[in-house]
Structure 1
């Protein structure tokens, strides 16, 4: 009876069910047996119980699958955003550590050209003593960075690790490729002796 199909799949209770020949054959709950019988006159053959529908289960499984895909997509987006934030932070940390960055002042010499992170400062600048302290004059910068940006720097006069005097120098936002002169302000007296002059971005 191996060619016979079960009445309605696994889980069908034992009983007589119609087989492929039209006879009533005994199903023992797991397999067909050789025992058969003809239906009595007027007796309606017992049909196999209908297969259970699993609509609710299938809908729930579909919803779970959609939820898993949604959560997975959200996690991928969050992971991508976190990766971009991490790259941005790493870039800023690297920029802060470059010569002339906030964490790494660059030693400069009066009148000589220098560069800080894509801002190119021209030669010819001077340190000038005045009645209010001192001034940095003719300090011109060209923006060779990727975007419009302002120069916000600190120039310090150092003796060893001691800051003897400092001035803050700024510009308005400078377009890429444009040159402008920094405005410097200090109330400190110009020291008579110092070891070096340094410059660094303030942030």
Structure 2
């Protein structure tokens, strides 16, 4: 008598196995025989290499930092230059500065931007008949060593009738020295005031 199939088990044939492949079921277990090999289920997507992108991003970041650094440096430098210009302009506009001559009185003390000029100086005619200034002493009360480079002008109204240039070497802070004054202009017969200003 022939075996009768067990009604609880599938009959032999091709069935999808747990992986989805059509595999031969012999009635008891799966075999190695497959049909129409279905593709395996998709795995995780392959990871793309981003090495080139990362290198380009790093180069871009370095470039941005370099450009930003240049702009920062230029900005700081520009600020320092502007401050220096403003400082020079302020010094030039101060009484006795290059753009603002200070009227002085013979023999009387005066101050120009931290240089303190002592009393007792005189204006006179040198042996060649030129205008000169004698005994003009200055004390450096500025914050650092500096030299005096000044013009002393004999004025008649708005006209300069004689010009005397007076200079010193670098003067240490707190030290007093006498200016060396020279001119090639004749001592004027008439003048109504004397002014002093830095040459620059």
* Structure 1 runs not aligned, ≥5 long: 1-21, 25-37
What is the CA–CA distance in structure 2 between the aligned matches of 1:123 and 1:146, rounded to whole Å?
Answer: 23
Could you tell which deviates more after superposition, 105-114 or 65-74?
65-74
- 2:197 is matched with 200
CA RMSD of aligned residues (A): 1.8
- 2:182 is matched with 185
Count of residue correspondences? 169
Q: Give CA-to-partner distance per residue, 1:129-182, whole Å, 9 cap, x none.
A: 233113211100001111111111110100111011111111111101100000
- Alignment of 1:95 onto 2:98: no
Q: Give CA-to-partner distance per residue, 1:99-137, whole Å, 9 cap, x none.
A: 111111100000000011111100000112233113211
Of structures 1 and 2, the larger Rg is shown by 2
Per-residue deviation at 1:40? 3.4
Per the normalisation by structure 2, the TM-score is 0.78
- 2:138 is matched with 141
Tell me which of 79, 96, 105 is aligned to 2:75.
79
Distance 1:62 1:193, change over 3 A: same
- Alignment of 1:169 onto 2:179: no
* Structure 2 runs not aligned, ≥5 long: 1-16, 24-33
What is the CA–CA distance in structure 1 between the aligned matches of 2:192 and 2:112, rounded to whole Å?
Answer: 21
Per the normalisation by structure 1, the TM-score is 0.77
- 2:40 is matched with 45
